[in-house]
Structure 1
Amino acid sequence: MSTHGTEAPRPIRIALLGCGTVGGEVVRLLTEQAGELAARVGAPLELAGIAVRRPDKHPELPPQLLTPDPAKLIESDADVVVELIGGIEPVRDWLLAALHKGKSVVTANKALLAECSGELSEAADSSGADLYFEAAVAGAIPLLRPLRESLAGDRITRVMGIVNGTTNYILSAMDSTGAGYAETLDEASRLGYAEADPTADVDGYDAASKAAILASLAFHSRVTVADVHREGIAGVSSSDILAAQKIGRVVKLLAICERVTAEEGAESVSARVHPVMIPRAHQLAGVGGAFNAVYVEADAAGELMFYGQGAGGAPTASAVLGDLVTVARNRVLAGRGPRESAHAALPIRPMGQTPTRYHISLDVADRAGVLAQVAQVFAVHDVSIAAVRQRDRLSTASLVIVTHSAPDSALQSTVDEISRLDVVREVVSVMRVEGEDS
């Protein structure tokens, strides 16, 4: 769309699907900053309609704009569809219909993108529409656009970060107070940091969806949530937290996406979400509360870190508005944003073949030869020990072992066999470690 002479530009009409916490902030910003947004875009931004489940529950919104039927807005004369409903079906069908009609789409729907981004991108390509989704990962933090655009000429090797505020709040509180997981989760719910049903957060589903999106962009390959190894934090105990503190580490739930190169030179993508111990000196260790931070490593750019508010109505709405301004400006100038980049098509590396490191804490019998028996198990599985710490107390002793890097399946098998040794009374803690050379 272009303008000529002194003719006033036609407004860019927006269909908003969903008007909860984030959607309400989007409407507020569109209203309060209308003049400034129009200047940035080159045309006014105008709401064509707002789809909400129960229009009567939204007295704060203009009633003439409200409809309970999102499909009706898809069929309207809207230029851009902003989707803030969440979930996969029927949202997938609505957005595919919008893209096929040439309407640009802005979405914050991480679950949908983690499962269907390829299908959505193909629909956008076929009609020349834009598909933007900055708000799907890390709220207001400008992260996806740097991966998608700013670093498009570089070779990214690793993306690692804290991408879920609820779990970060819980683990930070456990570290600072010494409280257990269950009581800290209850406190997080009371303070509003955790949802009434926290499953998506504490079991790692939310972070896994974000990891799939990050890996897809970073490594130019289609990665879905099914490709992401996922472990949550429900199994993290106060003993794990204490074990980390004793060796100068802190426990975080991290999304880790890596470009892994095999000995013969073949590359693959590893994408995983699980709790890890990282050194307290690491940049991510000091990220507390509900904040997010993502650490990116690239060949030319080196090490980069993105930090800020990862959730909340206003921060997420900021990311939505940023995308909305971009796609609207593209409409005015008859341009297009970046397309999907999946040319590398790297295979997914199974978790068992992914190199990791373990911290293992054992209660063992206090007698001669115990360490030799344990070390023999490591040797059988070809796992090298990096450090050992031992402490005697009465008839038992504690044995803490940190390994060098090895395939995760070998490390799991090692722990399983150690747990069956007569001299091992209990495997107290097992957790992967990150942040130091192997």
Structure 2
Amino acid sequence: MSDHELRVALLGCGNVGSEVARLLTEQASDLAARIGTSVRLAGVAVRRPNRHRTIPAELLTTDAAALVESDVDLVVEVIGGIEPARTLLLAALRSGKSVVTANKALLAEHAGELFAAADATGADLYFEAAVAGAIPLLRPLRESLAGDRINSVLGIVNGTTNFILSAMDETGSGYAEALEEASRLGYAEADPTADVDGYDAASKAAILASLAFHTRVTAADVHREGISAVTAADVAAARALGRTIKLLAICERVADPDGSESVAVRVHPAMIPRGHPLAAVGGAFNAVFVEADAAGQLMFYGQGAGGAPTASAVLGDLVAVARNRLVGGRGPGESAYAALPVRPISRASTRYHLSLDVADRPGVLASVAAVFAEHDVSIAAVRQEGRSGDASLVIVTHSAPDAALRSTVDKIAGLPAVREVVSVMRVEGEDL
């Protein structure tokens, strides 16, 4: 690196990339003072140069590979997706260029490969912006809590789904109406699948679990359920029980019966008590609740997405990488020494809220309760309301393995008196 200048290549110039370019330009003098050397944007790789009129034309290029191979010190990637981002970042790291990325999907699939390339050349790989936007979260897990033992990470890490569920809770609207409102306000993409089906949150959960438990966890290891099946009736039922519904990323260190440990990582909607710290997180905000042995309970809250908040995290990483390069040092690499096995969802235990439509006649509750007993699932509470020959039966269980609950539900659905299993919802954040 030059004694007087850090040359930065920017890959992608959408909402986040354009904010990164703006901040690099507008805060150039402050960044130089904080780093100890000046920073210059050397080039911006885009697909359609004519759409980026705020960027000087001489900086724009459609040849991202050539920009990465040029005389730059640091590559910032905000393209998203797996390819061409993976190929470009591997090329950068293998040539000794440090990388800052906001690409959660890439990290959730190929973090091991990227870290290996970084280790081979001593380059830095930073990715604070990949989870929870501007919220300082990954660096505390990676550095501040490196001397502690983290037991669980529980969080709301997708702003789109949190906006939808918050709207359903506040207005009583259905899922479709809340999604339409999220789209109108710009919180949901034209194709919201990655958000509402839980793919985005699952990628983030994989990254969080990898850092928290020093174990390589990929998106494929994460059990994933989205929010499209959540109904206004589910939200009303939660409210009646003093709960609210959130899409949660849950990462837990679990002790096995033989004394060994494993990791459970899942993303799904769940009812949580209204007194839980995450229950008050509304709109498109994110929040993550961390429990560690020595530090105890910590909560991180703030803007989880958006161009400016995410660019703030990117710039923070850029400053850290630049300082490392200036002094010839290096930030933390991958820590996967624990290599804990990932527990399948069938063995994950939690509580459940079930809503059934049943015939309103004697013996129905007894027949349903017998199925729960047969599968060793303990019932904590029951509420039954009759209406014109039909009845609504709501059951809340004690903690039970997912496999046992699924077997219970399958058998209950086949009972003659059960018209429909209306919903099955997990209950988190409370103990009986």
Q: Say yes or no: TM over 0.5.
A: yes
Q: Does 1:133 align with 2:127?
A: yes
> What is the CA-CA distance between 1:111 and the residue it aligns to?
0.5
Q: Does 1:396 align with 2:390?
A: yes
In the other structure, the counterpart of 1:290 is: 284
Farther-moved stretch of structure 1 (394-403 vs 107-116): 394-403
Question: What TM-score comes out, normalization by structure 2 length?
Answer: 0.98
> What is the CA-CA distance between 1:56 and the residue it aligns to?
2.1
In the other structure, the counterpart of 2:35 is: 41
In the other structure, the counterpart of 2:179 is: 185
> What is the CA-CA distance between 1:10 and the residue it aligns to?
2.1
Give the distance between the partners of 1:231 and 1:38, measured in 2 at CA: 45
Deviations 1:81-125 (A, max 9, x none): 000111111211110010011100000000000000000001001
> What is the CA-CA distance between 1:289 and the residue it aligns to?
0.5
Kindly tell me the number of residue pairs found equivalent between the two proteins. Answer: 432
In the other structure, the counterpart of 1:5 is: none
Match of 1:32 among 26, 48, 66: 26
* Alignment-mate amino acid for residue 319 of structure 2: V
Write out the 4+ residue segments of structure 1 that deviate beyond 4 Å after TM superposition.
none
Identify unmatched segments of 5+ residues in structure 1: 3-8
Q: Does 1:230 align with 2:207?
A: no
In the other structure, the counterpart of 1:108 is: 102
Q: Does 1:351 align with 2:345?
A: yes
In the other structure, the counterpart of 2:307 is: 313
Farther-moved stretch of structure 1 (306-315 vs 382-391): 382-391
> What is the CA-CA distance between 1:246 and the residue it aligns to?
1.2
In the other structure, the counterpart of 2:426 is: 432
Q: What aligned pairs does 1:27-426 form with structure 2 within 5 A after superposition?
A: 27-426=21-420
In the other structure, the counterpart of 2:14 is: 20
* Alignment-mate amino acid for residue 235 of structure 1: A
Give the distance between the partners of 2:228 and 2:138, measured in 1 at CA: 29
Give the distance between the partners of 2:359 and 2:23, measured in 1 at CA: 65
Aligned partners of 1:287 and 1:293 also within 8 Å: yes
* Alignment-mate amino acid for residue 203 of structure 2: S
Deviations 1:381-414 (A, max 9, x none): 1111112222333423322111111110110111
Give the distance between the partners of 2:357 and 2:75, measured in 1 at CA: 58
Give the distance between the partners of 1:356 and 1:123, measured in 2 at CA: 39
Give the distance between the partners of 1:303 and 1:420, measured in 2 at CA: 43
> What is the CA-CA distance between 1:169 and the residue it aligns to?
0.5
Give the distance between the partners of 1:307 and 1:59, measured in 2 at CA: 34
Give the distance between the partners of 2:333 and 2:190, measured in 1 at CA: 38
Aligned partners of 1:239 and 1:429 also within 8 Å: no
In the other structure, the counterpart of 1:6 is: none
Identify unmatched segments of 5+ residues in structure 2: none
Q: Tell me, what secondary structure is at the counterpart of 1:275? A: strand
* Alignment-mate amino acid for residue 387 of structure 1: A
Give the distance between the partners of 1:424 and 1:56, measured in 2 at CA: 61
> What is the CA-CA distance between 1:368 and the residue it aligns to?
2.3
Q: Tell me, what secondary structure is at the counterpart of 1:258? A: strand
Farther-moved stretch of structure 1 (425-434 vs 316-325): 425-434
Give the distance between the partners of 1:434 and 1:386, measured in 2 at CA: 14
Q: Tell me, what secondary structure is at the counterpart of 2:206? A: helix
Aligned partners of 1:239 and 1:428 also within 8 Å: no
* Alignment-mate amino acid for residue 259 of structure 2: G
* Alignment-mate amino acid for residue 45 of structure 1: V
Q: Tell me, what secondary structure is at the counterpart of 2:312? A: helix
Kindly, what percent of the aligned residue pairs are identical? 75
Give the distance between the partners of 2:137 and 2:350, measured in 1 at CA: 26
* Alignment-mate amino acid for residue 44 of structure 2: I
Give the distance between the partners of 1:87 and 1:363, measured in 2 at CA: 43
Q: Tell me, what secondary structure is at the counterpart of 2:346? A: helix
Question: What TM-score comes out, normalization by structure 1 length?
Answer: 0.97
* Alignment-mate amino acid for residue 163 of structure 1: V
* Alignment-mate amino acid for residue 218 of structure 1: A
Aligned partners of 1:212 and 1:227 also within 8 Å: yes
> What is the CA-CA distance between 1:23 and the residue it aligns to?
1.0
Q: Tell me, what secondary structure is at the counterpart of 1:411? A: helix
Aligned partners of 1:161 and 1:295 also within 8 Å: yes
Q: Tell me, what secondary structure is at the counterpart of 1:371? A: helix
> What is the CA-CA distance between 1:362 and the residue it aligns to?
1.6
Give the distance between the partners of 1:429 and 1:22, measured in 2 at CA: 38
Q: What aligned pairs does 1:2-13 form with structure 2 within 5 A after superposition?
A: 9-13=3-7
Task: Give the root-mean-square deviation of aligned CA atoms.
Answer: 1.1
